[in-house]
């Protein structure tokens, strides 16, 4: 007898805010030929059995992600089809999802919230013997503290066209991640104020299309580092430092134009 199939929707489905839809369907394949697990291989390739990454008939944003096989009797194979979406994103829309928030970064500083230098002092007793020239003297030194500073984050998740594949996403990672914007970006943000912190892509249709997540972090003072000379005798920067000699603004990140990822 010729093999035949019967597809039935499962009795349950699941929907979550993190993953969206998950469905289960049942395929019964009758009169399957072969011996042992060969029957499973033959059942999978039967005409009419859904292929991996095919869309669910009721919800096209959910794709076939796994197939579980079991033998019911001598020539009947049962296949459980599991459909789900990678994340709760509208895979049928080209409109980007934009997320704006903030995170904190730890920095070291020698000033308080008003910009005043942090200073500490100690009155050495007259009986101090470790350094006789300190005895009876008052000495000051600067203080360094760790501070968590908030920085704006900007994340865009979008469905890219067919020209964006795994190779392109890998190229973008090499080109942009860990780099700062060399030009004005998003209309009015100044150069060197945005750092690309990540680019990640996922596909639910075998690589035909990718949902790509672009992440950036903002520093209005630019991502340059301010470095100053510290007097080792008191732990403070002198008042008469000369710019570009005793104090410098150092560029520590490579710069690149973000125009190539088309998020303007």
pTM of the model: 0.55
Question: What confidence tens digit (pLDDT) does each residue in 113-142 have?
Answer: 887 878 888 899 999 998 889 899 998 877
User: What does the domain layout of the chain look like in residue ranges?
Assistant: 4-84, 97-261
How are beta strands 255-256 and 180-181 bridged, if at all?
parallel
- Classify 176 as helix, strand or coil: helix
Counting residues of the chain whose pLDDT is more than 90, the rounded percentage is: 33
* Helix (H) / strand (E) containing 168: helix 166-176
Summary mean pLDDT of the chain = 85
- Classify 7 as helix, strand or coil: strand
Place of tokens 């020698």: 110
How many Cβ atoms are within 10 Å of 24's Cβ, its own excluded?
Answer: 17
pLDDT for the residue numbered 117: 79
Q: How far is CA 250 from each of CA 162, 184, 228, 242, 245, rounded to the nearest angstrom? A: 40, 20, 10, 15, 12
- Beta strand spans in the chain (E): 4-16, 20-30, 63-73, 76-84, 97-109, 119-123, 138-142, 145-159, 180-181, 194-202, 211-218, 225-228, 247-250, 255-256
Task: Band the pLDDT of 257: cuts 50, 70, 90.
Answer: very high
């Amino acid at each position: 007898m010729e093999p035949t199939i019967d597809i039935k929707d499962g009795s349950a489905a699941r929907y979550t805010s993190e993953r969206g839809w998950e469905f289960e369907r049942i395929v019964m394949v009758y009169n399957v030929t072969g011996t042992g697990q060969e029957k499973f291989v033959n059942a999978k390739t039967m005409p009419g059995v859904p292929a991996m990454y095919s869309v669910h008939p009721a919800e096209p944003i959910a794709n076939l992600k796994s197939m579980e096989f079991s033998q019911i009797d001598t020539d009947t194979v049962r296949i459980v089809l599991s459909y789900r979406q990678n994340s709760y994103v509208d895979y049928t829309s080209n409109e980007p999802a934009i997320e704006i928030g903030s995170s904190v970064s730890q920095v070291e500083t020698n000033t308080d919230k008003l910009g005043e230098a942090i200073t500490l002092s100690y009155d050495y007793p007259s009986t101090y013997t470790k350094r006789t020239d300190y005895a009876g003297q008052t000495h000051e030194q600067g203080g360094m503290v760790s501070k968590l500073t908030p920085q704006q984050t900007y994340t865009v998740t979008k469905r890219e066209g067919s020209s964006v594949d795994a190779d392109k996403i890998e190229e973008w990672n090499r080109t942009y991640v860990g780099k700062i914007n060399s030009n004005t970006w998003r209309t009015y943000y100044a150069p060197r104020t945005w750092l690309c912190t990540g680019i990640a892509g996922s596909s639910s249709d075998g690589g035909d299309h990718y949902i790509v997540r672009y992440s950036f972090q903002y520093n209005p003072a630019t991502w340059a580092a301010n470095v100053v000379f510290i007097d080792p005798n008191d732990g403070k920067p002198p008042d008469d430092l000369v710019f570009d000699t005793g104090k410098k603004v150092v560029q520590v990140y490579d710069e690149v134009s973000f125009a190539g990822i088309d998020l303007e």
